[in-house]
Amino acid sequence: MIAAFEGWNDACQAATNVIRHLVGQYESREIRHISCDGYYDYQVARPMMCHAAGYANLIWPQTTFYDITLAPHRHLYAQIAPEPNYRWRNYCSESLAIAEELDVNQIITLGSMFSDCPHTRPLPLSVSDGACQCEGDREYNGPVGIPTVLDVAAADQGFSHASMWVSIPQYLGSDECAAGTLRLLQALGDRIGFAFDTGDLQSKSDHWKAQASILVRCNDQLADYVGHLEHEYDLKQKADAEASLGAPQAEQLVKEAEAFLRNMGE
């Protein structure tokens, strides 16, 4: 089961749009809900007015669980909701009770966050599995949202679990970021061993990058800032690549560098 939550954990809607994409791309049906009562502050997560067939309806914030058919004998469950305002422990217990009822064997939470990263490079992705940070920057310490709380609760109840976060360039504002959604979708596919239909996400991602590049070209100060981010990004990628080399390869690189310097001095 994958889970994503609107709000603080969902920069540019990149995480929740993974679920919206899957629901729209595959045969899907709503199978469970969690009542909004007791979990939301309606001055923060306000109900919406919807007029249909001449009638006015109030749509209250709620949690929806989907059964998504990926293939004839392969299903994926998805949970999507605004981040609750109250009683997070109870909310996670109720969510995991539904997961257990559905015989879910793994919980994967999705999130997106604003960060100092350039739009001209692959968006940074952090994937953690339990206490092990498998990819991305060093382990995070600080305030957390409901995805992290659900991830920890899943671990406490014995579920296999993972968390995936994509970073979004903070200088581009809060418009939807298809590049972030595509990055998460591809990482999710790698995780579960399934090639998702990406639909129009690639073309939307290319459009997002093109618009960002136009914005940067029109602002010299922003262009300098993005250039700095690109330099920092490339340095980190190079450092990570060198750190991934084993001791024999690293020693060989040192010997080659020393030989080059000796030849330069002769």
For the stretch 119-135, pLDDT in tens is 999 999 999 986 444 44
Hey, CA dihedral for 129, 131, 134, 136, is it positive or negative?
A: positive
Average pLDDT of the segment spanning 13-20? 98
Do 179 and 239 lie in one domain? The reply is: no
Same-domain status, 78 and 46:
yes
Q: Which of 60-69, 186-195, 238-247 has the lowest average pLDDT?
A: 238-247
Domain count, the chain: 2
Answer yes or no: do 67 and 111 share one domain: yes
Q: Are residues 176 and 138 in the same domain?
A: yes
Q: What is the pLDDT of residue 264?
A: 59
- The Cα 32–Cα 63 span in angstroms is 8
Same domain, residue pair 235 and 160: no
Spatial distance between the Cα atoms of 163 and 148, rounded to a whole number of angstroms: 8
- Looking at the fold, whether 246 and 195 belong to one and the same domain comes out as no
The verdict on 194 and 236 lying in the same domain is no
Tens digit of each residue's pLDDT (9 = 90 or more) over 202-211? 999 999 999 9
DSSP 215-251: HHHT-HHHHHHHHHHHHHHHHHHHHHHHHTS-HHHHH
Containing domain of residue 53, as a range?
A: 2-200
Contact between residue 154 and residue 106 where contact means Cβ atoms under 8 Å apart: no
**Position 253 pLDDT exceeds 80:** no
> In sequence order, which ranges of the chain are alpha helices (DSSP H)?
16-25, 88-101, 146-156, 178-192, 201-217, 220-243, 247-265
Same domain, 172 and 253: no
Q: Tell me whether residue 223 is in a domain.
A: yes
Q: Please report whether residue 110 resides in a domain.
A: yes
Q: What is the mean pLDDT of residues 226-250?
A: 83
Residue 211 located in a structural domain: no
Residue 206 falls within a domain, yes or no? no
Mean pLDDT of 138-154: 88
Does 105 lie in the same domain as 231?
A: no
Of the three residues 171, 200, 229, the one that is the final residue of a domain is 200
Average confidence score pLDDT of the chain: 90
pLDDT value of residue 265: 56
| Residue 205 domain flag | no
Q: Taking Cα atoms as reference points, which of 7, 237, 222, 196 lies closest to residue 119?
A: 222
Nearest by Cα to 110 from 141, 89, 79, 84: 79
Task: Flag whether the pTM goes above 0.75.
Answer: yes
**Mean pLDDT lowest among 65-74, 117-126, 201-210, 233-242:** 233-242
pLDDT of residue 133: 45
Looking at the fold, whether 70 and 154 belong to one and the same domain comes out as yes
The length of the chain in residues reads 266
Which residues have CB under 8 Å from 5's CB, separation 6+? 15, 16, 80, 81, 82, 83, 111, 145, 146, 147
Clarify whether residues 188 and 262 are in a common domain: no
Same domain, residue pair 189 and 223: no
Q: Is residue 22 part of a domain?
A: yes
Q: For residue 40, name the pLDDT band (cuts at 50, 70, 90).
A: very high
